[in-house]
């Protein structure tokens, strides 16, 4: 069995330049991560804040031996954003991840990635994307293990990637929920989404954690944690395993999952170490088992202490 690819997904949240630069510098210098995603997925208005740093970030990551993938917007809404996507699609010597189906046409016949925001649910869809040049396909979060196994077993196709840690994006909209929660219009949002490093928590009327809001994006309150199933996915043919960045110590998180992929730690010890980070998160793996997404078969209803 070849070495599994460990992937750091794109930063979904509106972190300031210093935090983002420090994050990528540490990923370059301190982790055994194979692939690192850069780029803005959620809101095009955020892009100018970090665009000027991207050349240096890309150079440092590549110099450290990391494959760099440029992730694109999950929802392309106007001509300005189309122009931005066209410019990104023309970047040489870097793999582009399409997260909106409109981007796939721009990337046809050159190596690229299909992101998890595009619904790759069956063999025909996967085969179509592979025929158009997709070398890796990140599957949607809600797929059960049976579907992952089926798609991973297709011979001579694209590499399959699955997210194994982090909040799951559930929806994206033209409306900015973060701005609306503060009584602001989207055009004058004041970038209040940046006030919540991991998304703004949303609770039900009886104070039960429900969702998280990140600008235009709605995420799960729970954090996907699939370490119990990594060996099964490896045997099924999944080649890449994605971590979604959050404000906890992602260097430690990456080290734990690298050990898990290399079979040097078991899931129980991995979660024990995650709990020692003193970061409030409830784990979930329900989608993988065809159950409600918030369920977690070993620690249902219990938060990591």
Alpha helices in the chain (DSSP H): 17-30, 47-51, 54-63, 79-89, 101-107, 123-131, 145-152, 177-181, 230-236, 250-261, 267-275
Question: Which of 255, 244, 173 has the alpha carbon at shortest distance from 214?
Answer: 173
On whether 176 is known to bind a ligand per the annotation, the reply is yes
Distance from C-alpha of 302 to C-alpha of 290, rounded to nearest angstrom:
20
Helix axes 250-261, 267-275, angle to 10 degrees: 170
Residue 193 labelled as part of a binding site: yes
By CB atoms closer than 10 A (0-12, 13-18, 19+), residue 249 is middle
Gyration radius of the chain over CA positions: 18
End-to-end Cα separation, the chain, in angstroms: 35
- DSSP helix/strand/coil, 233: helix
Q: What residues contact residue 34 under an 8 Å CB cut-off, 6+ apart?
A: 5, 6, 7, 66, 67, 240
If you write DSSP's letter for every residue of 107-174 in order, what string do you get? HTTS-EEE-TTS---SHHHHHHHHHTTEEEEEPPTT--HHHHHHHHT-TTSPEEEEEEEEEEEEEE-S
Using an 8 Å Cβ cutoff, are 191 and 46 in contact?
Answer: yes
- Going by the annotation, the residues of the binding site for [4Fe-4S] cluster are 43, 176, 189, 193
- Going by the annotation, the residues of the binding site are 43, 176, 189, 193
């Amino acid at each position: 069995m070849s070495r599994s690819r460990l992937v750091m997904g794109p930063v979904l949240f509106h972190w300031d330049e210093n935090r983002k630069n420090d994050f990528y510098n540490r990923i370059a210098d301190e982790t055994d991560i194979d692939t690192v995603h850069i780029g803005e997925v959620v809101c095009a208005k955020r892009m100018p804040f970090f665009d000027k740093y991207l050349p240096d970030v890309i150079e440092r990551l590549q110099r450290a031996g990391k494959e760099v993938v440029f992730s694109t917007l999950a929802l392309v809404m106007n001509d300005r954003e189309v122009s931005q996507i066209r410019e990104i699609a023309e970047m040489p010597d870097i793999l582009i991840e399409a997260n909106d189906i409109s981007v796939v046409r721009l990337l046809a016949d050159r190596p690229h990635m299909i992101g998890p925001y595009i619904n790759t649910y069956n063999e025909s869809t996967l085969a179509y994307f592979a025929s158009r040049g997709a070398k890796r396909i990140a599957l949607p979060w809600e797929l059960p293990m049976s579907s992952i196994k089926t798609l991973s077993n297709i011979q001579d196709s694209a590499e399959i990637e699955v997210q194994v840690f982090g909040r799951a994006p559930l929806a994206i909209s033209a409306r900015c929920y973060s701005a609306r929660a503060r009584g602001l219009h989207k055009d004058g949002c004041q970038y209040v989404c940046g006030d919540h490093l991991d998304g703004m928590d949303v609770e039900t009327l009886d104070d039960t954690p429900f969702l998280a809001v990140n600008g235009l994006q709605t995420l799960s309150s729970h954090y996907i944690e699939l370490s119990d199933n990594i060996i099964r996915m490896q045997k099924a043919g999944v080649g890449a395993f994605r971590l979604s960045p959050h404000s906890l110590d992602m260097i430690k998180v990456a080290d734990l999952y690298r050990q898990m992929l290399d079979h040097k730690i078991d899931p129980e010890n991995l979660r024990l170490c995650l709990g020692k980070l003193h970061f409030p998160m409830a784990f979930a793996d329900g989608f993988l088992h065809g159950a409600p997404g918030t369920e977690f078969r070993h620690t249902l209803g219990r938060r990591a202490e």
